């Protein structure tokens, strides 16, 4: 006879749902507690008038395989769509300017486009070129992305290209972001080639004659939205408790906010960062919960296509020093044609984290009007058909300098709690594939395979 292991999962975002799936596959009985009234966490898809509205993530990095493997296992691979790409722009010195050809994650890799671009002054271009001869900057101790890039490439390339491109991913600032925890690949490149320009160039595959490398983007999504993933993972849960906040975790025990205590063979924590400290009562968990987090505000706006300035490409990022409250604008209908009906346009704008706190007390209409006013200083848009404001309050973890050390001491402290594992965006990566990876590893560590009883 097989005795099923009883596993509790706390948090029903992509991490918790993926953990539920892998635990179920391994033969466990899965109970999931979610504080909210819906599953999905930051993933939220709404369908309206033929538009697919992604209120949270809209796609994921195709080169990280775990999520695509999961999508295939769920039989959803027929619904995979790849992002389109085109000219990328940066709003600098009050104008949308094309990103120099050959720039990879903001690092220039081609000589002539860099020479010809109007993004930087000659002084800025010359300073960036010093990267070819400068010694290594990273020496085994974590530093901020700002320190790393400024030292290698100089202030102009950082402020006009790298900062607007990379800081948006974490909704933070380069000064706060740890190179070890956010983009460790730059450490590897510097170690191997010393120069970032030469290192990124070596990584970029040569373009073959006649090829159109810009057509296929680097991101994948699902035709009816990422909400499809949430729905497909739902059957892995045997017992689902929505609107149920977990107050405390002890080895093999889950205490709910109403005081009820349930026992389990194993517990997987997959909550957003602020919940860890209060739930575990460990100083190391509180330290992680107390790390900087930011709130994000995004506004989706649907238009007739004729009411939006016609530009080739998929959108733009905005340099901070322009003083605009927006950090980026994605032309979703161009990046993801499945998201808007023919003849329609869908724009998504991101409000910079420092402008978010005063706006949070405003209603959605006011926030949307504010965002559109800011947008109109950059590009023409007419009257929207509708807008959708999304607030992600205080839940975007910032991987600050030293983050890896905090995670290591948290993991050491957690190891003392028998049968309790943690995973998700707070620890080792905020991208959806990273979350799925960490959920899979947490289930493996827990060893949930049923014991054979005779
Ligand atoms: C606007 C935005 C855009 C993004 N875009 C992308 C993108 O395009 N691609 C990409 O890869 N990533 C993107 N990300 C990042 C990615 O969406 C997140 O890192 C990821 O979804 C986090 O998943 P999670 O399950 O770890 O956490 P969450 O989705 O935050 O889920 C945690 C869940 O735990 C629940 N919970 C918290 N406390 C308790 C408790 N005490 N008891 C019970 N339940 C609790 C919460 O209610 C929540 O549902 C984006 C993030 C944001 C905010």
Domain assignments of the chain as residue spans, ordered by start: 2-41+228-292+400-452, 44-86+214-225+293-397, 101-205
Spatial contact of 289 and 274, defined as CB atoms under 8 Å apart: yes
Q: Decide: 155 in ligand 1 pocket, CB within 6 A.
A: no
Tell me if residue 61 falls in helix, strand or coil: strand
d(CA 334, CA 331): 6
**Which of 8, 10, 11, 61 is the pocket-test mutation for ligand 1 (most atoms within 8 Å of CB)?**
11
What percent of the chain clears pLDDT 90, i.e. is strictly above it? 72
Q: What is the mean pLDDT of the chain?
A: 91
Atom of ligand 1 nearest to the CA of 15: 25
The CATH number given to 2-41+228-292+400-452 is 3.50.50.60
Q: Decide: 425 in ligand 1 pocket, CB within 6 A.
A: yes
CA 216 to chain centroid: 20
The per-residue pLDDT for range 107-166, each reduced to its tens digit, is 888 888 888 898 899 999 999 999 999 999 999 999 999 999 999 999 999 999 999 988
Residue 212's pLDDT is 47
**Confidence band (pLDDT; 50, 70, 90) for 220?**
very high
d(CA 454, CA 452): 7
The CATH number given to 101-205 is 1.10.3110.10
Write out the DSSP string of 128-154.
Answer: HHGGGTPPP---SS--BHHHHHHHHH-
Q: Decide: 15 in ligand 1 pocket, CB within 6 A.
A: yes
Angle between helices 185-193 and 196-203 (to 10 degrees): 110
Q: Kindly calculate the radius of gyration of the chain based on its CA atoms and give it in whole angstroms.
A: 23
Q: Decide: 434 in ligand 1 pocket, CB within 6 A.
A: no
Q: Decide: 431 in ligand 1 pocket, CB within 6 A.
A: yes
- Nearest in space to 356 (alpha carbons), one of 208, 173, 171, 178: 171
Q: Are 44-86+214-225+293-397 and 101-205 the same fold in CATH?
A: no
Distance 304 CA to ligand 1 centre (A): 31
Atom of ligand 1 nearest to the CA of 423: 26
The per-residue pLDDT for range 21-41, each reduced to its tens digit, is 999 999 999 999 999 999 999
CA 171 to chain centroid: 9
pLDDT at residue 45 is higher than 50:
yes
pLDDT at residue 195 is higher than 90:
yes
Residue 210's pLDDT is 44
> Is 44-86+214-225+293-397 in CATH node 3.90.660.20?
yes
The mean pLDDT of 297-326, rounded to a whole number, is: 92
């Amino acid at each position: 006879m097989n005795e099923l292991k009883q596993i509790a999962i706390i948090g029903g975002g992509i991490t918790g749902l993926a953990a539920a799936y892998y635990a179920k596959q391994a033969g466990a009985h899965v109970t999931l507690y979610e504080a909210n009234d819906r599953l999905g966490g930051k993933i939220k898809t709404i369908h309206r008038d033929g538009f697919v509205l992604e209120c949270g993530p809209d796609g994921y990095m195709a080169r990280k395989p775990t999520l695509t493997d999961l999508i295939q296992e769920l039989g959803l691979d027929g619904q995979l769509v790849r992002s389109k790409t085109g000219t990328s722009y940066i709003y600098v010195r009050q104008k949308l300017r094309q990103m120099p050809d050959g720039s990879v994650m903001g690092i220039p890799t081609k000589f002539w486009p860099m020479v010809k671009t109007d993004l930087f002054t000659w002084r800025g271009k010359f300073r960036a070129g010093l990267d070819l001869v400068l010694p290594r900057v990273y020496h085994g101790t974590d530093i901020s992305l700002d320190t790393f890039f400024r030292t290698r490439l100089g202030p102009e390339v950082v402020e006009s290209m790298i900062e607007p491109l990379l800081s948006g991913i974490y909704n933070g600032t380069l000064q706060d972001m740890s190179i070890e925890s956010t983009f460790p690949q730059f450490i590897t490149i510097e170690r191997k080639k010393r120069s970032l320009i030469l290192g990124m160039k070596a990584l970029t595959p040569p373009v073959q004659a006649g090829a159109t490398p810009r057509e296929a983007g680097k991101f994948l999504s699902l035709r009816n939205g990422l909400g499809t993933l949430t729905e497909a993972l739902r059957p892995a849960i045997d017992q689902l408790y929505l609107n149920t906040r977990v107050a405390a975790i002890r080895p093999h025990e889950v205490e709910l906010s109403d005081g009820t205590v349930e026992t389990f063979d194993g517990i997987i924590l997959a909550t957003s960062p602020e919940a860890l400290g209060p739930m575990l009562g460990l100083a190391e968990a509180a330290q992680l919960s107390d790390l900087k987090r930011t709130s994000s505000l995004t506004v989706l706006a649907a238009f007739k296509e004729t009411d939006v300035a016609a530009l080739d490409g998929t959108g733009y990022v905005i340099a901070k020093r322009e003083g605009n409250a927006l950090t980026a604008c994605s032309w979703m209908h161009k990046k993801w044609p499945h998201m808007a009906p023919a003849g329609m346009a869908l724009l998504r704008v991101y409000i910079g984290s420092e402008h978010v706190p005063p706006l949070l007390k405003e209603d959605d209409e006011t926030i949307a009007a504010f965002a559109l006013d800011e947008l109109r200083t950059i590009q023409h848009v007419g009257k929207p058909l509708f807008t959708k404001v999304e607030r992600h309050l205080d839940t975007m973890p910032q991987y600050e300098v030293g983050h890896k050390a905090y995670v290591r001491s948290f993991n050491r402290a957690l190891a003392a709690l028998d049968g309790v594992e943690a995973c998700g965006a707070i620890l080792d990566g905020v991208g959806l594939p990273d979350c799925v990876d960490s959920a899979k590893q947490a289930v493996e560590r827990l060893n949930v395979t049923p014991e054979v009883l005779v």
